[in-house]
């Protein structure tokens, strides 16, 4: 996109503000993974840092799992503006009920590892993947947990739950324009500039 996606605005709120707003109803604690340097202090959300520069989202997951006070971490990428609180609540409820290692949002295109619930018992597998310089988010599932077994990925089909648009990322200007159109058609662009949630 050529600039910081978190600062892009839809309906008077930045993508970062939107992400935090949809997480609040589903979380008792918010953490903001900002890479290897602290950013967005103005959000008032505690920041966790990657162990080193250039390791990508998997290092952010490691930082969040290590810092979390609870046994499950709900993850959402800042560039998924169509995710709604109701969907995240469904993810959390199922992850707790089924005691999932990881429950990821799924679609016809596959899993979305940046929208899901991760159990903190995955931390050794995440660290092993990073130590091996395997930086894809799904690389952690090829490394054992403390109990010796490989983690299991469960998926939650977004479309069947009425949230087909939730898996869409904003990586280009055209995708950003489509997201604005989608949210406008859903009536979300009338939301207040700060506070509240969609």
Are 40 and 33 contacting, i.e. CB atoms less than 8 angstroms apart?
no
Say if 71 falls within a structural domain.
yes
- In the prediction, which pLDDT does 195 show? 32
CATH code of the domain in which 177 resides: 3.90.550.10
Note the pLDDT of residue 192.
33
Q: What is the pLDDT of residue 182?
A: 65
Domain range for 121: 5-190
Tens-digit pLDDT profile for the chain (198 aa)? 566 888 888 878 899 999 999 999 999 999 999 999 999 999 999 999 999 999 999 999 999 999 999 999 999 999 988 899 999 999 999 999 999 999 999 887 789 999 999 999 999 999 999 999 999 999 999 999 999 999 999 999 988 877 767 777 766 766 666 766 666 665 554 333 333 322
The pLDDT tens digits for 112-167 are: 999 999 999 999 999 999 999 999 999 999 999 999 999 999 999 988 877 767 77
Residue 193 is predicted with a pLDDT of 33
Q: Can you state the percent helix, strand and coil of the chain, rounding each to 5? A: 40, 15, 40
* Predicted local confidence at residue 110, as pLDDT: 85
DSSP three-state, residue 115:
strand
Residue 68 covered by a domain: yes
Q: Does 197 fall in a domain? A: no
In contact, 29 and 68? CB cutoff 8 Å:
yes
Residue 195 lies in a domain: no
106 three-state secondary structure: strand
In a domain, 198, yes or no: no
Q: How many domains does the chain have?
A: 1
What is the pLDDT, as a whole number, of residue 47? 97
Is residue 87 one of the residues assigned to a domain? yes
């Amino acid at each position: 996109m050529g600039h910081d996606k978190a600062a892009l605005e839809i309906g008077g709120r930045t993508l970062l503000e939107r992400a935090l707003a949809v997480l609040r109803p589903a979380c008792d604690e918010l953490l903001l993974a900002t890479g290897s340097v602290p950013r967005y202090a103005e959000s008032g959300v505690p920041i966790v840092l990657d162990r080193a520069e250039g390791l990508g989202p998997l290092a952010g997951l490691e930082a969040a799992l290590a810092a979390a006070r609870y046994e499950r971490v709900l993850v959402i990428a800042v560039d998924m503006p169509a995710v709604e609180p109701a969907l995240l609540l469904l993810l959390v409820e199922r992850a707790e009920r089924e005691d999932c290692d990881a429950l990821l949002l799924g679609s016809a295109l596959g899993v979305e590892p940046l929208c899901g619930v991760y159990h903190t018992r995955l931390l050794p597998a995440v660290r092993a993947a990073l130590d091996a310089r395997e930086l894809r988010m799904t690389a952690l599932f090829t490394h054992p947990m403390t109990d010796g077994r490989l983690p299991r990925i469960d998926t939650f089909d977004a479309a069947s739950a009425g949230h087909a648009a939730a898996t869409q990322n904003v990586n280009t200007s055209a995708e950003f324009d489509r997201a604005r159109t989608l949210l406008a058609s859903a009536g979300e662009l009338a939301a207040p500039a700060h506070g509240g949630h969609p």
